[in-house]
Chain A
Amino acid sequence: MSANGHTELLTMQPFRQLTAIAVPLDRANVDTDQIIPKQFLKNVLRSGLGKGLFFDWRYLPDGDPNPEFVLNRPEYRGAGILLARENFGCGSSREHAPWALKDFGIQALIAPSFADIFYNNCLQNGMLPISLPGAEVDRLFQVVSAAPGTQLSINLEKQHVSTPHGETFAFELDAYQKQCLLEGWDSIALTLRHEDEIAAFEARG
């Protein structure tokens, strides 16, 4: 890493645009215990967690893939966008959840709402969680379920999601977080630029 200028801040892969298959997971309140069950938290690394993603839903008790679980359907192979229902990612703070999704290939999520810690953890990993009104998420579920394998396009700069038929849905995102994603900034490096202020705060005690 270079020590000068802005390059020291660039550690995350920037996120700008994404066109990818969207896989619909039609359940509300999906918790992080489902996204990545406990046995996969016994790792000291953050890589290779994709195999544990939705483990209890993806595999039958005998270890075979569950053919009924949507992520196992061949039409959705290679999906990069997860379409979900309200309060996605509730429960534990485990960052293993976004790590597992990312390792599996998911780079963006669309849902009516997300749990706070999960939402934040996604952003920390260069992943984009998009909140859209319930009716618009319903519409995307229709589009994607009617033609499994449909690709959706996300433009972060313009802040919209579009379908192949040209339907477009605008989303909101905190301006600062948008910039961090677009630039791929490392937030620790950003903070260390304020070291004097941190030291002054500590001195005030």
Chain B
Amino acid sequence: MGKTLFRKIWDRHRVHEEPGKPVLLYIDLHLIHEVTSPQAFEALRKAGRRVRRPERTYATMDHNVPTDPRPIKIQDANSARQIEVLAANCKAFGIQLFDLDSPHQGIVHVIGPELGLTQPGMTIVCGDSHTATHGALGALAFGIGTSEVEHVLATQCLWQRQPKTMQIRVDGQLPAGVSAKDLILYVIGQIGVSGATGCVIEYAGDTIRALSMEERMTVCNMSIEAGGRAGMIAPDQVTFLLLRGRPHAPLGAAFERAVRDWETLASDPDAEFDQRVAFRAGEIAPQVSWGTNPGMVTSISERVPDPATIQDSVARRSTELALQYMDLRPGMRLQGLAIDRVFIGSCTNSRLSDLEIAARYVAGHKVAAGVRAMVVPGSRQVKAEAEKRGLDKIFREAGFEWRESGCSMCLGMNPDILQPGERCASTSNRNFEGRQGRLGRTHLVSPAMAAAAAIAGHFVDVREWPH
């Protein structure tokens, strides 16, 4: 029987195993940031342990950094302290850091592929649940907690039970105005926020194959929102093209050798998955989340659910609470619903192509009166490239704020937050209660939907929107 992409990578990284125990898995690449690493270094120090392979760990500052023009002095004392501690830890243990002054700084999941650190066939971990993003390049990448960050620093390995596998197949052509973000929101809406718990997802089918590298990252990024341990896509020419010439990718003949190896990673035709689901791209419409988790999502042309029609008491209660929090009426339409804020950014949708698409909807228009809209590029490189193409001008002229890179209002650990009761069209990945600011209301959408909402002042169906 053939092997899956996941299984091939898993098998290549087994260091030790015995019956009844988890496998000791080797980790090729470890990414760290300021929020989930300080306690790991502290514990290492206490135990008198060293970092086993400092050259396999890279650090950046992204979660709590203000997005004001650089250089910045961080006002919040605790955030400033986390930034200082990360810098000191990287220095003490010999880890390369992309700090706020580095032209390579950015959201950890944006800079990994951008720098060519992320490569097919690798095992990659990070103390962050959206690590699955890197799986878009055909790597096995998953989020870990701080104790495991410490474990990887000390041993370059992790104990892992072999997860189950799930294939999510999407075939057919995405309708005009429907993006990778809509695709993944739709899938999560279908399988639910715990639909892939315990599983590594492989996305397959001709819709997935036709996606650009950046679109594939958007899809894999949200695997955790379906409960998935990781999400991955077999590497192909699109992947190799992205990697060629990146600073940390192999060079010359070594690159060609690597490609020959990477070509063998795709799941064998007769490989079996523990679970399979399939969808038709043609049935997907632009999505908007209406509730307080990413599975509470509907297409722009449909209505939000009515709890009265839900049989299961736990599900009914969840729906009631979500509608109440979001201040929505049962059965209402989201099209036409007024918004206060727009956030274009996050590791889901802050890459160059996301900004280009949003700019197309914005060009020549003005942000609606009363709406505050911001664009936060995923990395300094994305920002520089976007500026080279004049995107910053388009956004600024329309009335958008054009900011420095970081996680920003995706999680509101920096000053970019929603005020209580504000409603936001956001290209990020989580609409949890208070995620973007206490009592703030988040609607997850694609960059096109967010841009059009900023101009209209309310949600619109981008399929009917001139751009």
**22 A-B pairs in the complex with CB atoms less than 8 angstroms apart:** A27-B318, A29-B293, A29-B295, A33-B430, A38-B411, A41-B63, A44-B42, A46-B42, A61-B438, A85-B314, A90-B193, A90-B293, A93-B128, A95-B39, A117-B144, A121-B147, A124-B148, A125-B147, A176-B21, A191-B155, A192-B154, A194-B16
* Alpha-carbon distance between A115 and B16 when the two chains are bound, in angstroms: 26
- Tell whether, in the assembled complex, residue A37 and residue B36 are in contact, meaning their CB atoms are under 8 Å apart: no
Contact check: which of B15, B145, B293, B439 meets A121 at CB < 8 Å? Answer: B145
Contact check: which of B36, B78, B156 meets A94 at CB < 8 Å? Answer: B36
Q: Count B-side interface residues using an 8 Å CB cutoff.
A: 66
Contact check: which of A31, A121, A176, A188 meets B150 at CB < 8 Å? Answer: A188
**Besides the known contacts A31-B432, A124-B145, A197-B24, 19 further A-B residue pairs in the complex with CB atoms under 8 A apart:** A33-B433, A34-B432, A41-B413, A42-B35, A42-B81, A46-B39, A86-B194, A90-B194, A92-B411, A93-B128, A93-B143, A117-B129, A188-B49, A188-B154, A191-B155, A198-B26, A198-B155, A198-B157, A202-B26
Q: How far is the CB of B290 from chain A (nearest CB, A)?
A: 15
Most buried by B among A38, A94, A115, A187: A38
Most buried by A among B63, B146, B413: B146
- Tell whether, in the assembled complex, residue A61 and residue B78 are in contact, meaning their CB atoms are under 8 Å apart: no
Most buried by B among A85, A116, A174, A190: A116
B121 contacts partner chain A, Cβ-Cβ < 8 Å? no
- Tell whether, in the assembled complex, residue B314 and residue A42 are in contact, meaning their CB atoms are under 8 Å apart: no
Contact check: which of A42, A85, A91, A194 meets B129 at CB < 8 Å? Answer: A91
- Chain A interface (Cβ within 8 Å of chain B)? 1, 26-29, 31, 33-34, 37-39, 41-46, 56, 61, 85-87, 90-95, 98, 113, 115-117, 120-121, 124-125, 174-176, 187-188, 190-192, 194, 197-198, 201-202
- Tell whether, in the assembled complex, residue B36 and residue A95 are in contact, meaning their CB atoms are under 8 Å apart: yes
**Per-residue interface assignment for chain B, residues 47 to 63, with 1 indicating a CB less than 8 Å from any chain A CB and 0 otherwise:** 10100110000000001
- Tell whether, in the assembled complex, residue B438 and residue A56 are in contact, meaning their CB atoms are under 8 Å apart: yes
* Alpha-carbon distance between A43 and B24 when the two chains are bound, in angstroms: 31
User: Which residues of B are found within 8 Å of A33, using beta-carbon distances?
Assistant: 411, 430, 432-435
- Tell whether, in the assembled complex, residue B434 and residue A61 are in contact, meaning their CB atoms are under 8 Å apart: no
* Alpha-carbon distance between A146 and B432 when the two chains are bound, in angstroms: 30
Q: 9 nearest interchain CB pairs?
A: A42-B78, A95-B145, A124-B147, A44-B38, A121-B145, A87-B194, A93-B143, A95-B146, A93-B129
User: Which residues of A are found within 8 Å of B53, using beta-carbon distances?
Assistant: 202
Residue of A nearest to B160 (CB): A120
Contact check: which of B22, B24, B434 meets A56 at CB < 8 Å? Answer: B434
* Alpha-carbon distance between A65 and B334 when the two chains are bound, in angstroms: 34
Interface of B is mostly: loop
- Tell whether, in the assembled complex, residue B318 and residue A29 are in contact, meaning their CB atoms are under 8 Å apart: yes
User: Which residues of B are found within 8 Å of A27, using beta-carbon distances?
Assistant: 317-318, 321
- Tell whether, in the assembled complex, residue A95 and residue B227 are in contact, meaning their CB atoms are under 8 Å apart: no
* Alpha-carbon distance between A120 and B198 when the two chains are bound, in angstroms: 11
* Alpha-carbon distance between A42 and B85 when the two chains are bound, in angstroms: 11
User: Which residues of A are found within 8 Å of B408, using beta-carbon distances?
Assistant: none
* Alpha-carbon distance between A191 and B16 when the two chains are bound, in angstroms: 10
B229 contacts partner chain A, Cβ-Cβ < 8 Å? yes
User: Which residues of A are found within 8 Å of B369, using beta-carbon distances?
Assistant: none
- Tell whether, in the assembled complex, residue B433 and residue A56 are in contact, meaning their CB atoms are under 8 Å apart: yes
B161 contacts partner chain A, Cβ-Cβ < 8 Å? yes
B412 contacts partner chain A, Cβ-Cβ < 8 Å? yes
User: Which residues of B are found within 8 Å of A38, using beta-carbon distances?
Assistant: 411-413
Q: How far is the CB of B149 from chain A (nearest CB, A)?
A: 9
Contact check: which of A42, A56, A93, A202 meets B127 at CB < 8 Å? Answer: A93
* Alpha-carbon distance between A40 and B432 when the two chains are bound, in angstroms: 16
Contact check: which of A98, A115, A125 meets B194 at CB < 8 Å? Answer: A115
Q: A27-B321, A61-B438, A116-B198 are in contact. Are A176 and B430 (CB under 8 A)?
A: no
**Per-residue interface assignment for chain B, residues 135 to 159, with 1 indicating a CB less than 8 Å from any chain A CB and 0 otherwise:** 0000000011111101100111101
* Alpha-carbon distance between A15 and B5 when the two chains are bound, in angstroms: 38
B197 contacts partner chain A, Cβ-Cβ < 8 Å? yes
User: Which residues of A are found within 8 Å of B85, using beta-carbon distances?
Assistant: 44
B64 contacts partner chain A, Cβ-Cβ < 8 Å? yes
